[in-house]
Structure 1
């Protein structure tokens, strides 16, 4: 069962991955790279499956996508976003994913043509310009982002944030349960959202 984030599940004008995380990866930080893989790998697999790939093919293509990201990350630059999906890390990631899916389908088409099939070619033409992510995809992404930050905060701060921002409990009820002030609840929420923006560039408010 998926948690329901009580935050905007849609990409916003701040929908970019933090320059801090990207810089760490560019500097060869293996921990930062593994963090990026944990966060975005499942999203890429979901995109691949939504574009018609079977589970095993979706995983294989996702590995090709991540290899493409590692090879071309130095050429990626965050830009002001004029329209959803442009200038953002996710928009760039989808471009790579789309190309890798098309490559896979061309290979499939080559095999199919030997047997008289044309379905793979039609699939290439039907690939969307914008990523096929759903509201649930983005909510799951945000949950993974939050999971990366959990150990950075004490239990009370995290519980206060989680219950108010993710589970949707009233701040007063949470404050009473935890024995802290309502002001402390909002401070906890603010601190964690600020950390998300700082480390991952995601604006969830």
Structure 2
């Protein structure tokens, strides 16, 4: 796809995920895993789980999502799906920690509750999860948008918008006019924003 072509707006990821299991869009699930599996895995690691346990609990979260996604109903509040996914992940962590703390039973129920309260600060963790989600979506959007532009156009964007170099300097280096660099940068930023908004609208 060239810079002059308009990409087709993809169907809602969540709608594509919520079909019957034998009718689900495999590409939608692949997109879901690219976006959300790293987020859930990082959440598990932050809870202090060993790598093998973090990966096992991440798979448990994904299995629960797979089994419950058709029953998921947005609540009309922003980031509804992310909050739902975070609750699923947090419940898996709680179950795992409860099992670990009780085998052998070194703590009584009150002490276990205190440990869970101390290690699972929901509001702070949810905010961090949300921040990391946005970073993950931006990384995905960047990868997608990169394919739409020529190398020189993308280089102009990277050098001016990311590396902070002056437009005139980059234009001279790439044999472009300053106006061309400015337009190219603006178009890439607009495409990145549009890609991110696709996911924000779905969530």
Q: Is the 8 A contact 1:69 1:93 kept in 2?
A: yes
TM-score normalised by the chain length of structure 1: 0.70
Counterpart selection for 2:76 from 75, 79, 83: 79
Counterpart selection for 1:21 from 13, 33, 43: 13
* Counterparts in 2 of 1:172 and 1:65: CA distance versus 1, 3 Å: farther
Q: CA deviation at 1:156?
A: 4.0
- Which residue does the alignment assign to 2:122? 129
Question: Secondary structure at 1:125's aligned position in 2?
Answer: helix
Looking at both structures, which has the greater relative contact order when contacts are Cα pairs under 8 Å and sequence separation is at least 6?
1
Q: Which has the higher helix share?
A: 2
Aligned length in residues: 177
Task: Give CA-to-partner distance per residue, 1:27-83, whole Å, 9 cap, x none.
Answer: 4111121111112211111111112212211111111111122222231416233xx
- Which residue does the alignment assign to 1:13? none
Larger mean CA deviation between 141-150 and 187-196 belongs to: 141-150
Q: CA deviation at 1:99?
A: 0.5
Residues 170-189 of structure 1: matches in 2 within 5 Å? 170-178=166-174, 179=176, 181=180, 182-189=182-189
Q: CA deviation at 1:139?
A: 6.7
Question: Secondary structure at 2:123's aligned position in 1?
Answer: coil
User: 1:21 & 1:170 partners in 2: Cα distance?
Assistant: 39
User: 2:73 & 2:167 partners in 1: Cα distance?
Assistant: 40
CA RMSD, Structure 1 to Structure 2 (Å)? 3.1
The reply to whether residue 62 of structure 1 matches residue 58 of structure 2 is yes
Q: Is the 8 A contact 2:141 2:195 kept in 1?
A: no
Greater than 6 Å deviation, 4+ residue runs: none
Q: Is the 8 A contact 2:156 2:171 kept in 1?
A: yes
Q: Is the 8 A contact 1:109 1:120 kept in 2?
A: yes
Question: Rg larger in 1 or in 2?
Answer: 2
- Which residue does the alignment assign to 2:101? 109
Question: Secondary structure at 1:188's aligned position in 2?
Answer: helix
- Which residue does the alignment assign to 1:193? 193
TM-score normalised by the chain length of structure 2: 0.70
User: 1:55 & 1:91 partners in 2: Cα distance?
Assistant: 24
Q: Is the 8 A contact 2:160 2:167 kept in 1?
A: yes
Q: Is the 8 A contact 2:13 2:28 kept in 1?
A: yes
5+ residue gaps, structure 1, are: 1-17, 82-86
